């Protein structure tokens, strides 16, 4: 095996995916069959600076260089090869945000990440103008908010992109973006797979009224679909990615994509009537639609797959952070009692205990809002646990309520698509930390959306692996081979997975909890006001 891999590495029959997550940058190198052969990682944290969540350019480049170096060292350690070439490379990152540059390619204001909710007024105004839901984290919302704020940098903007678009540009010289990420910069016309012409015209007229001289289409990156050529690693780019000088220029790049797109690829959920749920620090569901929804919903973002099919997305800021806090508290108690329990064992113990609870959590109620939630109109983080004297306050019900709450906002949004719009789902795949404990999170998601949920063994590889697949697709696809066919036949054909159908009693229990959850929302909204 090692000798075969050595030959692949030396001949460049590999693909590299690097993804910038919120807390970790991850690199995965795969062989020609999309099997991971080496990896590297770099932990990083966003900064809250001047009222903005951001990462500096130094953070970005130090992080990606360290991540690449560790991956290359992994190659050297495992196979005795100094990495000098790669078959194809692709970059991915957390969604959208705001990066704008002047005519000298200088960043005009610090990178504004998806976590910033300060563009909500602009998003609301644009939603009304377009009759199309614009999320506050979208690039166009950040741009228009800067216009509304009268920020002086706006007049100097000549290019706007996202984090992975920026890294791709610096390494290749190409101002391009994958269509999935582009759909979170500005609305897409599904028929043409380009920025929506009517909305471009409306926005340009709005900008002109505000005294802005440029047209938005002139500052946005060019849209590319999965499998299209997105440029090659330049000599300067090679030195920037790998300061050791070992990596040679000329390597082809696939279109840079957002973490939503790579999540779809990593879970084989790019076909219509399929979907995936990514559940970790935040949670989002993506369902590939057969047709447009009947109207715009503030709870649902319309984005696309990496090949441009329409996707209904429910994005929630909070998922497991509150549970992590409680598990940490139980770990402290165990240590105080003289018992050492590893974190994975502690999670398993508490998650499995939740299965013994009442189907509706015994009347308990939890809100996992470490940060704000736009879908439920909660403006700031106020994690809460609430019960009545009559509630059945047991450890099993307590853990079950917190696990249900981690999917509470997601259910609100998904119910609109599945119940009100009648969207059809043949399969949905779960990935992320919530599903690490066998069966538990998976069965609760099945109950929340009343649909079968599959968890695959590769789901733990995440978006960096999905990005590596997109890079491999660029250079190994056959003539006319669609991304859907490539995933079915070349990537997931022999993948092992476990599918759990919803238990009707669990569905009824989650529905009862869901009603209590929605009815109790005024409690947490009041906490935002009263608890400063």
Mean pLDDT score of the chain: 94
- Centre a 10 Å sphere on the Cβ of residue 282 and count the other Cβ atoms it contains: 21
Rounded to whole angstroms, how far apart are CA atoms 98 and 111? 6
Same domain, 351 and 215: no
Asked if residue 27 is part of any domain, the answer here is: no
DSSP for 205-243, written as a single string: HHHHHTT--S-HHHHSPEEE-TTS---B--HHHHHHH-T
Tens of pLDDT, residue by residue over 313-323, are: 998 989 999 99
What local confidence, expressed as pLDDT, does residue 218 receive?
Answer: 97
The dihedrals phi and psi of 203, each to the nearest 5 degrees, come to -70, -40
In this structure, are residues 259 and 19 in contact, taking their beta carbons and an 8 Å threshold? yes
The dihedrals phi and psi of 367, each to the nearest 5 degrees, come to -125, 125
Confidence band of 14 (pLDDT split at 50, 70, 90): very high
Same domain, 213 and 347: no
Rounded to whole angstroms, how far apart are CA atoms 242 and 70? 11
What local confidence, expressed as pLDDT, does residue 426 receive?
Answer: 85
What local confidence, expressed as pLDDT, does residue 116 receive?
Answer: 81
In this structure, are residues 474 and 36 in contact, taking their beta carbons and an 8 Å threshold? no
What's the pTM value of the predicted model, to 2 decimals? 0.87
Asked if residue 179 is part of any domain, the answer here is: no
Average pLDDT of the segment spanning 120-141? 94
Rounded to whole angstroms, how far apart are CA atoms 407 and 88? 37
Joined tokens for residue 115: 């976590």
Q: Is residue 338 scored above 70 in pLDDT? A: yes
| DSSP single-letter state for residue 528 | H
| Domain carrying residue 102 | 96-161+186-219
**All residues at 6 or more sequence positions from 158 whose CB lies less than 8 Å from its CB, including other chains:** 101, 102, 103, 214, 219
Asked if residue 210 is part of any domain, the answer here is: yes
What local confidence, expressed as pLDDT, does residue 427 receive?
Answer: 85
Max distance between CA atoms of the chain, in angstroms, equals: 69
State which of 171, 202, 219 marks the end of a domain. 219
Q: Is residue 460 scored above 80 in pLDDT? A: no
What local confidence, expressed as pLDDT, does residue 494 receive?
Answer: 80
Asked if residue 289 is part of any domain, the answer here is: no
What's the CATH number where 210 sits? 3.30.420.40
State which of 200, 219, 238 marks the end of a domain. 219
In this structure, are residues 227 and 483 in contact, taking their beta carbons and an 8 Å threshold? yes
State which of 219, 243, 267 marks the end of a domain. 219
Rounded to whole angstroms, how far apart are CA atoms 155 and 246? 41
Joined tokens for residue 504: 């009707």
Q: How would you classify the pairing of strands 194-195 and 188-189?
A: antiparallel
Same domain, 401 and 515: yes
Q: Is residue 3 scored above 70 in pLDDT? A: no
Same domain, 203 and 329: no
Average pLDDT of the segment spanning 173-195? 97
Tens of pLDDT, residue by residue over 434-448, are: 998 999 999 999 999
Tens of pLDDT, residue by residue over 234-270, are: 999 999 999 999 999 999 999 999 988 998 999 899 9
Rounded to whole angstroms, how far apart are CA atoms 211 and 147? 9
Confidence band of 496 (pLDDT split at 50, 70, 90): confident
Confidence band of 96 (pLDDT split at 50, 70, 90): confident
Asked if residue 140 is part of any domain, the answer here is: yes
Same domain, 203 and 327: no
DSSP for 33-82, written as a single string: TS-EEEEEEEE---EEETTEEE--HHHHHHHHHHHHHHHHHHHHHHH---
Rounded to whole angstroms, how far apart are CA atoms 260 and 338? 43
**Domain count within the chain:** 2
Q: Characterise 228 by phi-psi region: left (phi > 0), alpha (psi -120 to 50), beta (else).
A: beta
DSSP for 294-318, written as a single string: SS--TT-EEEE-TT--EEEEEEES-
DSSP for 130-168, written as a single string: HTS---TTSHHHHHHHHHHTT-GGGGG--EEE-HHHHHH
Q: Is residue 374 scored above 90 in pLDDT? A: no
Burial of 313 (0-12, 13-18, 19+ CB in 10 A): buried
Q: If residue 112 lies in a helix (H) or strand (E), which one and from where to where?
A: none
Confidence band of 1 (pLDDT split at 50, 70, 90): very low
Rounded to whole angstroms, how far apart are CA atoms 84 and 82? 6
Asked if residue 448 is part of any domain, the answer here is: no
Extract the runs of DSSP E, i.e. beta strands, from 272-425.
274-279, 283-288, 301-304, 310-316, 365-367, 384-386
Burial of 283 (0-12, 13-18, 19+ CB in 10 A): buried
In this structure, are residues 71 and 116 in contact, taking their beta carbons and an 8 Å threshold? no
Asked if residue 202 is part of any domain, the answer here is: yes
- Centre a 10 Å sphere on the Cβ of residue 493 and count the other Cβ atoms it contains: 8
3-class SS shares of the chain: helix, strand, coil, % to 5: 45, 20, 40
Same domain, 197 and 333: no
């Amino acid at each position: 095996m090692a000798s075969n891999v050595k030959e692949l590495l030396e001949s460049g029959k590999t693909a590299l995916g690097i993804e910038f997550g919120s807390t970790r940058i991850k690199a995965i190198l795969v062989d020609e069959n999309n099997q991971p052969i080496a990896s590297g990682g770099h932990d990083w944290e966003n900064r809250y600076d001047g009222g903005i969540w951001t990462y500096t350019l130094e953070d970005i480049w130090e992080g990606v260089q360290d991540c690449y170096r560790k991956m290359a060292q992994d190659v050297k350690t495992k196979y005795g090869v100094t990495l000098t070439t790669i078959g194809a490379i692709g970059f991915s990152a957390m969604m959208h945000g705001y990066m704008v540059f002047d005519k000298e390619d200088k960043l005009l204001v610090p990178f504004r990440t998806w976590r910033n909710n300060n563009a909500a007024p602009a998003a609301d105004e644009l939603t009304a103008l377009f009759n199309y839901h614009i999320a506050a984290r979208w690039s166009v919302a950040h741009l228009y908010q800067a216009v509304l704020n009268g920020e002086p940098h706006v007049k100097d903007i000549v290019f706007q992109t996202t984090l992975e678009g920026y890294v791709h540009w610096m390494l290749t010289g190409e101002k391009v973006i994958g269509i999935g990420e582009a759909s979170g910069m500005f609305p897409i016309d599904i028929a043409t797979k380009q920025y929506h012409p009517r909305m471009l015209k409306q926005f340009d007229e709005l900008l002109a009224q505000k005294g802005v001289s440029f047209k938005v289409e002139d500052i946005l990156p060019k849209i590319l679909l999965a499998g299209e050529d997105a440029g090659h690693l330049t000599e300067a780019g090679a030195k920037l990615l790998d300061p050791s000088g070992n990596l040679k220029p000329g390597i082809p790049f696939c279109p840079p994509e957002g973490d939503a797109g790579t999540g779809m690829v990593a879970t084989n959920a790019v076909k219509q009537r399929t979907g995936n749920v990514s559940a970790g620090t935040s949670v989002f569901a993506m369902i590939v639609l057969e047709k447009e929804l009947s109207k715009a919903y503030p709870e649902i973002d319309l984005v696309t797959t990496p090949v441009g099919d329409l996707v209904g997305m429910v994005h929630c800021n909070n998922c497991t952070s509150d549970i992590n806090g409680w598990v940490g508290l139980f770990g402290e108690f165990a240590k105080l009692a003289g018992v050492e329990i590893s974190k994975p064992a502690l999670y398993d113990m508490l998650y499995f205990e939740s299965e013994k609870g009442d189907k509706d959590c015994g009347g308990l109620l939890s809100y996992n809002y470490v940060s704000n939630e736009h879908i439920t109109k909660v403006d700031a983080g106020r994690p809460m646990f609430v019960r009545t004297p009559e509630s059945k306050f047991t450890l099993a019900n307590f853990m079950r309520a917190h696990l249900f709450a981690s999917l509470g906002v997601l259910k609100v949004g998904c119910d609109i698509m599945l119940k009100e719009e009648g969207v059809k789902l043949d399969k949905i795949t779960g990935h992320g930390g919530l599903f690490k404990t066998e069966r538990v999170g998976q069965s609760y998601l099945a109950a929340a959306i009343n649909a079968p949920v599959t968890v695959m063994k590769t789901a733990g590889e995440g978006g960096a692996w999905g990005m590596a697949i997109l890079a491999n697709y660029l250079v190994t696809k056959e003539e006319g081979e669609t991304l859907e066919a490539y995933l079915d036949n070349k990537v997931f054909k022999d993948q092992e997975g476990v599918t759990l159908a919803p238990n009707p009693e669990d569905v009824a229990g989650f529905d009862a909890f869901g009603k209590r959850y929605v009815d109790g929302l005024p409690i947490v909204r009041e906490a935002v006001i009263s608890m400063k």
